[in-house]
Chain A
């Protein structure tokens, strides 16, 4: 009996100590990864082409891109900092600087949802220039870049090719995301008040960029004249009124600038691609360890109140009473 009394005391002291430890608030810091980046979304006309499907309905590239970007910010750690910009003409235009997502998530999410081609200030689409401007912005802010575009250059690139990248490849890291399918589709056309009025036709758009030097094979073109017709005299035909994602162009740009490339498709996951490309910022997430000592304290109390009495009852029943003592007392 004396032995059990001491065990009870020991368990009570253990419970007390465990609760004291729990009150001290032990925690363990887990390393987690956060990313700092700006998202720049192409809002030019070709992004209105509907070659994605969402809930069984044809969806524009812009809507598909917005859906995936919203998915991306929902998945990265909320301590990540995200800024938003749009690309049109030859510029990338920052809407807001990177902000931490923990408290600002809904505002950032709404801002992404509100992206619209109508925000575009001009109709041109010089994708390569826009990417270079976006890289400059990201470099100034010292963050990474996620640039979503279909790579459709309008007007087409000159014979000399895209503007050269003068920065240091890999200084800004991140992703070029190719948006669109590889099968050419027509581009919706809108009137001045923003109503859709059909599609761009072959006659509406330039099929060749005639600024700068003519291509080297121009002399073999019909009607070529070095002064009067340096680009040849044939009527221009082409498929510039249709649009498909220009993967070769975008991959070349990504290689040159040291970014990763991924195409926006059903199976593509922006969070994992971003994790593979972007710079990581290690943050600590603290894990609450108080439940461990608290559970021990609970176990000790339950042992005292339920465990010991059961054992005791068992023992008392087994042991015959010591009648000799009682008899002598009489």
Chain B
């Protein structure tokens, strides 16, 4: 619990809470000597209660005026999830359907399917810290790892907008590995590459990726949105066909990624349904124990403070209504009225 106030200077008024101990809210009545009043436990108790009630009421109002609240805080919790960077291909070919054509009517473009399914994926994983990177001819950091999924969803929302030039997977992966490293060191980390193609990875970038993989272990997933008719990444090419990175970059990217020494899974999807299955599989595998932080918003405590003050004042009011003057004093008032009356009569008689 971390309690704070907005206006600390107002707390000086708390000194007013001492007032009930030096003054009383009951009427003073004339009495020759307090020593004449017998000591009475109940009276002492009632007196103390009323003074405390008044002090509490004053203190509570002052706290309320000072804007007492429980501070917004982060609470560490244990859950299941991971720190995930989604690396998304924004090249122009993603705008085509799985059949490799411009999407018409029933068809869904690869990017639209990816957008829909990734948005679901993120929505199902509330505890994850998620980052988004995009790549085409160059890598682009979009959203650094964050707990705020609204901005992540906003970045996923643009995936099906028209894509850019070509595909440079290598530098994109390098960026994603760097971004995911920025998370908490002991959190489970994953990079999910969503692309519909690959290109030859520069030898220098290959070396850099190998370094990054050795330095910071991450779980690597490749969701390959295969256009129907193109070659699979899992099958070696038929005899007589070239098996080089230039001829078949996707298969060689797969081979390169499996050689990195990281936990690596490739999923090949040739339809939105297959993409959904693959994402569900990633969802299942990335449920590792994770410490995450939950935001507890600021909570206003001025209301409860005023309620406390209200109870205190009600107590005082009850005492006030039950108040009776001392018998002597009541008699005194009556005597005074009588003597005034008598004086007036005397005056009239004299006149």
Contact = CB atoms under 8 A, between A and B. Distances in A.
A binds B: yes
Interface of A: 1-2, 4-5, 8-9, 12-13, 15-16, 19-20, 22-23, 25, 83, 86, 89, 91, 93-100, 103-104, 106-108, 110-111, 114, 118-122, 137, 193, 288, 290-291, 294-295, 297-298, 301-302, 304-306, 309, 312, 316, 322, 324-325, 328
Question: Interface size bucket, B side?
Answer: 35 or more
A8 B25 contact: yes
A301 B54 contact: yes
Interface in B66-81: none
Interface stretch (B35-43, B146-154, B216-224, B279-287): B146-154
A19 B54 contact: no
Interface of B: 13, 16, 19-20, 23-30, 54, 57-58, 61-62, 64-65, 90, 132, 134, 136-144, 146, 148, 150-151, 154-155, 157-158, 161, 164-165, 204, 302-303, 306-307, 309-310, 313-314, 316-317, 320-321, 323, 325, 329, 332-333, 335-336, 339
Contact of A298 (B61, B158, B320): B61
B27 A5 contact: yes
Contacts of A12: 25, 313, 316-317, 320
Residue in B143, B154, B314 with the greatest tally of chain A CB atoms within 10 Å = B154
Contacts of A20: 310
Contacts of A324: 339
A288 B23 CA distance: 33
A13 B25 CA distance: 13
A93 B77 CA distance: 38
A193 B16 CA distance: 70
Given A96-B155, A97-B157, A107-B144, 15 more contacts: A5-B325, A8-B320, A104-B148, A106-B146, A114-B144, A119-B140, A193-B204, A291-B64, A294-B306, A295-B65, A297-B313, A298-B58, A301-B58, A309-B28, A322-B336
Contacts of A100: 150
Q: Does more than half of chain A's interface fall in helix, strand or loop, or is it mixed? A: helix
Residue in A8, A288, A305 with the greatest tally of chain B CB atoms within 10 Å = A305
A324 B338 CA distance: 12
A224 to B, nearest CB: 37
Nearest to A122: B165
B150 to A, nearest CB: 5
A23 B151 contact: no
Contacts of B316: 12
Residue in A4, A12, A20 with the greatest tally of chain B CB atoms within 10 Å = A12
B137 A122 contact: yes
Contacts of B25: 8, 12, 304-305
A290 B6 CA distance: 14
Contact of A121 (B64, B137, B154, B333): B137
Nearest to B146: A107
A250 to B, nearest CB: 24
A13 B317 contact: yes
Nearest to A297: B61
A52 to B, nearest CB: 23
A93 B164 CA distance: 8
Nearest to B314: A16
